[in-house]
Structure 1
């Protein structure tokens, strides 16, 4: 299960959702889940579910089954947050006001202006004091979870090589490569326009290279950033659907492509090269040559995902223990997740 407690993403949804007050007799206002004296109504859960689905799926139509999974994730978050909040209160955990100030400032930067933030805050029915209290609860929760369910450490070189030794026999070896291309048409443009286009691509590549080398972004996120640039800037008609993704061979796209890509390692970005009626840059994301270095990023990502899954299991077990201390009630089958926190 996916359970990311006290995340800023959830806080964003909680602030942005804004739940209108319902009539007392409206079933949507009735509690369907309770943790001690704190109740969560169907209306609140449904509103957060809609907002989270909109955020995650970018307005695309979502099946009833998927919406149910989103709803269960919302419920897990709400129940988990409240259990952790109660335990923080019991343990008397405190955080400096300066940390709350810093997080509030970071959160506000997600909005175009202070006025927009204040308007959104008002629509959510919160005061600034209540908003700060939620941020403080988040920071306290993070302190508790650091001790009880710490985040996994980065995979070591030894762990990565051990994983490779166990699995390298399963890897197919062939001449295929994968990557992301950003292509710009230059046919009919002036020499100056072509030069400016090349400079733009050089700058784009240099910026992302520096972030990767400084380890400011993980590999998977770097690929996403490059693909976003392809969607926004590439003249390839398929780029908006594919994000510029390509599965090809080294010799499958002409001599200029082969020369630009031949010496790249996985994760590298090529220099600008000539393409059909244009110029391009290419990020190599996969190479099936059977060498450890070509699979390093995949191994790193895989080990991180495995470690996070193990952490999520430990987190669920810890929350189940808290649910033995603090009473959790699920009052409606529709709002009872499979393997619910504190469930029988």
Structure 2
């Protein structure tokens, strides 16, 4: 088998069988004509190196075969690449926020190995990031192969473009707003006008935080050390009480509705009354969930060396004397019962502040609904 046959066989292996013979014949004629022209120019037969140089000019077999292949010639074409890039950037920023919050939770849980926690956070970010990039590329390749173009790519509206700035962290909290007509430069003594901040930015953190919670709630995300408490250098396991299983679906639905409102607020930050109308029942539902959780009285159980202690409480613990005792905890409070008592007080006050915050949200959104 000579050089031309080896080259054409490599090309033919990448071509559809029904078109292989015609394309190979066309390429053979092209190669032979190039060889003959070069031989006529040199006045002698070509050497193997000279023949190979001409074949390299024609192109690698994979590249030449791609010229005859039907359909897209890239995983992410030039039309889809901007969407792919935005999705990857935004997704990586969300993963970074999730890992940062998880690292913070792990560090404040009392672990003695902060270096290992940071290492796990970096490993989680890079592994999740690679998975995200892979999934985004596969999705874009499917869109490219079957020429799929969703409506949000072809029938977009200018008023819905605000959230696309979220892929650039430099614009978070940046002063942006509706573009104004070009005007003459102000006088040197004139006071600069304050620009209006994009109102949708305040809902970004809420969307990320609630989304992270939802993924953790259904078991997709895992935070090392979250369900463990340090007792004099040893771990005590934290077991949820039955109330959390009872409220699993209501809490998940509550979080998903909250995310949908936040997402709508990102794209429609000026829909004040609509957002207030949605947040009022959400806050009322949150008050109901808080009340049911508080009334359960038992929230978690600590287990260590076969011993157990309950994290539980009631309205009696809502006094400032219980808070003052938290600042006078000695080494004895690091045993199982002491830690459970401390966390019980903290849990009671967290639920109380949550109820107050939700009640204020109802009042505030009623005011917004009226004022607009």
Q: For the superposition of Structure 1 and Structure 2, which TM-score range results when normalised by the shorter chain? A: under 0.3
Higher helix share: 2
More relative contact order, 1 or 2 (CA 8 Å, 6+ apart): 1
TM-score after normalising by structure 2: 0.24
Higher strand share: 1
TM-score after normalising by structure 1: 0.25
Tell which structure's C-alpha radius of gyration is larger: 2
